[in-house]
Copies of this chain bind each other. A is one copy, B any other.
Protein backbone atom coordinates (compact mmCIF):
# COMPACT_ATOMS: atom_id res chain seq x y z
CA UNK A 1 0.00 0.00 0.00
CA UNK A 2 1.72 3.15 -1.19
CA UNK A 3 2.35 5.71 1.50
CA UNK A 4 1.39 3.35 4.29
CA UNK A 5 3.06 3.79 7.64
CA UNK A 6 2.91 0.05 8.27
CA UNK A 7 5.35 -2.62 7.06
CA UNK A 8 3.81 -5.69 8.65
CA UNK A 9 0.37 -6.71 9.89
CA UNK A 10 -0.04 -9.66 12.23
CA UNK A 11 -3.22 -11.47 13.13
CA UNK A 12 -4.05 -13.75 16.00
CA UNK A 13 -5.66 -17.08 15.05
CA UNK A 14 -7.86 -18.77 17.70
CA UNK A 15 -11.10 -16.83 18.30
CA UNK A 16 -9.90 -14.09 15.91
CA UNK A 17 -9.98 -15.95 12.57
CA UNK A 18 -11.75 -19.12 13.58
CA UNK A 19 -13.86 -20.64 16.34
CA UNK A 20 -11.85 -22.08 19.20
CA UNK A 21 -13.18 -21.18 22.65
CA UNK A 22 -16.52 -22.73 21.61
CA UNK A 23 -14.78 -26.10 21.46
CA UNK A 24 -13.30 -25.61 24.94
CA UNK A 25 -16.72 -24.61 26.31
CA UNK A 26 -18.28 -27.74 24.81
CA UNK A 27 -15.51 -29.82 26.35
CA UNK A 28 -16.13 -28.22 29.75
CA UNK A 29 -19.83 -29.08 29.44
CA UNK A 30 -19.05 -32.71 28.66
CA UNK A 31 -16.62 -32.71 31.56
CA UNK A 32 -19.35 -31.40 33.86
CA UNK A 33 -21.71 -34.19 32.81
CA UNK A 34 -18.93 -36.74 33.37
CA UNK A 35 -18.42 -35.43 36.90
CA UNK A 36 -22.16 -35.37 37.61
CA UNK A 37 -22.37 -39.06 36.64
CA UNK A 38 -19.35 -39.69 38.90
CA UNK A 39 -21.37 -38.20 41.78
CA UNK A 40 -19.77 -34.75 42.05
CA UNK A 41 -22.43 -32.36 43.36
CA UNK A 42 -20.84 -29.02 42.44
CA UNK A 43 -22.19 -26.15 40.38
CA UNK A 44 -20.95 -25.61 36.82
CA UNK A 45 -19.35 -22.32 37.96
CA UNK A 46 -17.58 -24.08 40.78
CA UNK A 47 -16.20 -26.74 38.43
CA UNK A 48 -15.17 -24.07 35.91
CA UNK A 49 -13.35 -22.15 38.61
CA UNK A 50 -11.49 -25.31 39.60
CA UNK A 51 -10.49 -26.02 35.99
CA UNK A 52 -9.29 -22.42 35.50
CA UNK A 53 -7.19 -22.58 38.64
CA UNK A 54 -5.65 -25.90 37.58
CA UNK A 55 -4.94 -24.61 34.06
CA UNK A 56 -3.17 -21.51 35.36
CA UNK A 57 -1.09 -23.59 37.79
CA UNK A 58 -0.17 -25.93 34.93
CA UNK A 59 0.70 -23.21 32.37
CA UNK A 60 4.40 -23.10 33.34
CA UNK A 61 4.60 -26.88 32.84
CA UNK A 62 2.35 -27.62 29.88
CA UNK A 63 1.81 -24.23 28.18
CA UNK A 64 -1.26 -23.42 26.09
CA UNK A 65 -3.22 -25.82 23.94
CA UNK A 66 -5.40 -28.90 23.93
CA UNK A 67 -2.86 -31.35 25.45
CA UNK A 68 -2.34 -29.00 28.35
CA UNK A 69 -6.10 -28.54 28.75
CA UNK A 70 -6.63 -32.33 28.72
CA UNK A 71 -4.01 -32.89 31.41
CA UNK A 72 -5.62 -30.14 33.51
CA UNK A 73 -9.07 -31.72 33.07
CA UNK A 74 -7.70 -35.09 34.17
CA UNK A 75 -6.08 -33.49 37.20
CA UNK A 76 -9.30 -31.59 38.02
CA UNK A 77 -11.43 -34.72 37.69
CA UNK A 78 -9.19 -36.61 40.09
CA UNK A 79 -9.15 -33.74 42.60
CA UNK A 80 -12.90 -33.03 42.43
CA UNK A 81 -13.79 -36.72 42.92
CA UNK A 82 -11.06 -37.16 45.55
CA UNK A 83 -9.61 -39.93 43.41
CA UNK A 84 -12.90 -41.79 42.98
CA UNK A 85 -13.36 -41.19 39.24
CA UNK A 86 -13.12 -44.34 37.11
CA UNK A 87 -10.17 -44.71 34.75
CA UNK A 88 -12.60 -45.26 31.89
CA UNK A 89 -14.10 -41.81 32.57
CA UNK A 90 -10.61 -40.32 32.39
CA UNK A 91 -10.16 -42.12 29.06
CA UNK A 92 -13.16 -40.11 27.85
CA UNK A 93 -11.12 -36.97 28.51
CA UNK A 94 -8.23 -38.29 26.39
CA UNK A 95 -10.71 -39.09 23.60
CA UNK A 96 -12.25 -35.63 23.98
CA UNK A 97 -8.79 -34.11 23.45
CA UNK A 98 -8.28 -36.15 20.27
CA UNK A 99 -11.63 -34.93 18.96
CA UNK A 100 -10.69 -31.32 19.74
CA UNK A 101 -7.37 -31.79 17.94
CA UNK A 102 -9.00 -33.09 14.79
CA UNK A 103 -12.21 -31.10 14.53
CA UNK A 104 -12.80 -28.94 11.45
CA UNK A 105 -11.69 -25.32 11.44
CA UNK A 106 -14.63 -22.95 11.03
CA UNK A 107 -13.78 -19.38 9.98
CA UNK A 108 -15.80 -16.45 11.31
CA UNK A 109 -17.97 -14.61 8.79
CA UNK A 110 -15.96 -12.14 6.73
CA UNK A 111 -12.52 -13.55 7.60
CA UNK A 112 -11.74 -14.97 4.16
CA UNK A 113 -12.52 -11.63 2.47
CA UNK A 114 -10.68 -9.38 4.91
CA UNK A 115 -7.59 -11.60 5.03
CA UNK A 116 -7.49 -11.70 1.22
CA UNK A 117 -7.83 -7.92 1.09
CA UNK A 118 -5.10 -7.27 3.68
CA UNK A 119 -2.78 -9.84 2.07
CA UNK A 120 -3.01 -7.92 -1.20
CA UNK A 121 -1.56 -4.79 0.48
CA UNK A 122 0.65 -5.96 3.34
CA UNK A 123 2.87 -8.89 4.28
CA UNK A 124 0.75 -10.80 6.80
CA UNK A 125 1.99 -12.74 9.79
CA UNK A 126 0.04 -15.16 11.96
CA UNK A 127 1.07 -14.93 15.63
CA UNK A 128 -0.58 -17.55 17.77
CA UNK A 129 -0.07 -19.10 21.16
CA UNK A 130 -0.38 -22.77 21.80
CA UNK A 131 0.54 -26.17 20.57
CA UNK A 132 2.82 -26.00 17.52
CA UNK A 133 1.44 -29.06 15.74
CA UNK A 134 -2.18 -28.16 16.38
CA UNK A 135 -1.81 -24.49 15.38
CA UNK A 136 -0.07 -25.25 12.10
CA UNK A 137 -2.54 -28.05 11.35
CA UNK A 138 -5.44 -25.65 11.91
CA UNK A 139 -3.87 -23.05 9.62
CA UNK A 140 -3.51 -25.69 6.90
CA UNK A 141 -7.13 -26.80 7.36
CA UNK A 142 -8.37 -23.18 7.39
CA UNK A 143 -7.48 -22.64 3.74
CA UNK A 144 -5.72 -19.39 4.71
CA UNK A 145 -2.14 -20.72 4.67
CA UNK A 146 -1.21 -18.98 1.41
CA UNK A 147 -2.32 -15.56 2.73
CA UNK A 148 0.32 -15.53 5.47
CA UNK A 149 3.91 -14.85 4.56
CA UNK A 150 5.06 -15.63 8.12
CA UNK A 151 3.79 -17.87 10.91
CA UNK A 152 4.94 -17.56 14.51
CA UNK A 153 3.69 -20.04 17.10
CA UNK A 154 4.78 -18.73 20.49
CA UNK A 155 4.54 -19.87 24.11
CA UNK A 156 3.34 -16.51 25.32
CA UNK A 157 2.64 -13.04 23.93
CA UNK A 158 4.64 -10.60 26.01
CA UNK A 159 6.23 -7.33 24.81
CA UNK A 160 9.58 -9.20 24.83
CA UNK A 161 8.23 -11.94 22.56
CA UNK A 162 6.82 -9.38 20.11
CA UNK A 163 10.09 -7.42 20.24
CA UNK A 164 12.08 -10.55 19.42
CA UNK A 165 9.84 -11.38 16.43
CA UNK A 166 10.01 -7.81 15.09
CA UNK A 167 13.76 -7.61 15.54
CA UNK A 168 14.20 -10.90 13.67
CA UNK A 169 12.11 -9.52 10.80
CA UNK A 170 13.79 -6.09 10.87
CA UNK A 171 10.49 -4.30 11.54
CA UNK A 172 10.17 -1.23 13.79
CA UNK A 173 7.35 -1.57 16.36
CA UNK A 174 5.96 1.77 15.15
CA UNK A 175 5.48 0.21 11.71
CA UNK A 176 3.77 -2.94 13.01
CA UNK A 177 0.07 -3.58 13.60
CA UNK A 178 -1.43 -6.55 15.45
CA UNK A 179 -5.11 -7.51 15.45
CA UNK A 180 -6.70 -10.09 17.70
CA UNK A 181 -9.44 -10.90 20.18
CA UNK A 182 -7.31 -10.83 23.32
CA UNK A 183 -6.67 -7.49 24.96
CA UNK A 184 -4.12 -9.17 27.20
CA UNK A 185 -2.16 -10.98 24.48
CA UNK A 186 -2.81 -9.19 21.18
CA UNK A 187 -3.39 -5.55 22.13
CA UNK A 188 -1.73 -4.36 25.34
CA UNK A 189 1.79 -5.82 24.81
CA UNK A 190 1.93 -4.43 21.25
CA UNK A 191 0.83 -0.97 22.40
CA UNK A 192 3.39 -1.11 25.22
CA UNK A 193 6.06 -1.78 22.61
CA UNK A 194 4.99 1.25 20.56
CA UNK A 195 3.09 -0.66 17.90
CA UNK A 196 -0.49 -0.38 16.58
CA UNK A 197 -3.27 -2.69 17.74
CA UNK A 198 -6.84 -3.47 16.77
CA UNK A 199 -9.13 -5.40 19.09
CA UNK A 200 -11.47 -7.78 17.29
CA UNK A 201 -13.93 -8.98 19.92
CA UNK A 202 -14.87 -12.64 19.90
CA UNK A 203 -18.27 -13.89 20.96
CA UNK A 204 -16.42 -16.16 23.39
CA UNK A 205 -13.03 -15.38 24.90
CA UNK A 206 -11.18 -17.32 27.59
CA UNK A 207 -11.46 -15.45 30.91
CA UNK A 208 -7.65 -15.45 31.16
CA UNK A 209 -7.39 -13.16 28.10
CA UNK A 210 -9.11 -10.06 29.51
CA UNK A 211 -7.12 -6.89 30.29
CA UNK A 212 -7.55 -3.13 30.37
CA UNK A 213 -5.94 -0.93 27.76
CA UNK A 214 -3.97 1.75 29.65
CA UNK A 215 -5.36 5.23 28.90
CA UNK A 216 -1.94 6.52 27.81
CA UNK A 217 -1.68 3.92 25.04
CA UNK A 218 -5.02 4.40 23.27
CA UNK A 219 -3.60 6.62 20.52
CA UNK A 220 -2.49 3.64 18.45
CA UNK A 221 -5.42 1.47 19.45
CA UNK A 222 -8.86 0.90 17.91
CA UNK A 223 -11.56 -1.61 18.67
CA UNK A 224 -13.73 -2.94 15.83
CA UNK A 225 -17.15 -4.53 16.16
CA UNK A 226 -16.33 -7.39 13.79
CA UNK A 227 -13.34 -8.64 11.84
CA UNK A 228 -14.98 -7.58 8.56
CA UNK A 229 -14.24 -3.96 9.51
CA UNK A 230 -10.53 -4.59 9.95
CA UNK A 231 -9.22 -3.29 6.64
CA UNK A 232 -11.42 -0.18 6.79
CA UNK A 233 -10.25 0.63 10.31
CA UNK A 234 -6.62 0.04 9.39
CA UNK A 235 -6.96 2.53 6.53
CA UNK A 236 -8.51 5.11 8.88
CA UNK A 237 -6.10 4.44 11.75
CA UNK A 238 -2.82 4.77 9.94
CA UNK A 239 -1.33 8.08 8.96
CA UNK A 240 -0.16 8.03 5.37
CA UNK A 241 2.74 10.17 4.35
A interface residues, Cβ below 8 angstroms from B: 58, 60-65, 67-68, 70-71, 74-75, 77-78, 81, 83-88, 90-91, 94, 97-98, 101-102, 131-134, 136, 153-155
Contacts and interface: CB of A to CB of B under 8 A. Distances in A.
A97 B71 CA distance: 10
A85 B83 contact: no
Contacts of A90: 74, 78, 87, 90
A88 B94 contact: no
10 contacts: A61-B98, A62-B67, A71-B71, A77-B87, A78-B91, A83-B87, A83-B88, A83-B91, A131-B131, A132-B132
Cβ-closest 5 pairs across A and B: A63-B133, A67-B67, A133-B155, A83-B88, A61-B101
Given A61-B98, A71-B71, A132-B155, 4 more contacts: A61-B97, A63-B132, A83-B87, A83-B88
Given A61-B98, A61-B102, A87 B78 contact: yes
Copies of this chain, tallied across the complex: 2
Contacts of A133: 62-64, 155
A7 to B, nearest CB: 17
A105 B58 CA distance: 20
A61 B63 CA distance: 16
Interface centre among A67, A70, A102, A134 (most CB of B within 10 A): A67
Contacts of A132: 63, 131-132, 153-155
Contact of A74 (B68, B74, B85, B131): B74
A237 B116 CA distance: 47
B97 A87 contact: no
Contacts of A136: 155
A132 B154 CA distance: 7
A120 to B, nearest CB: 22
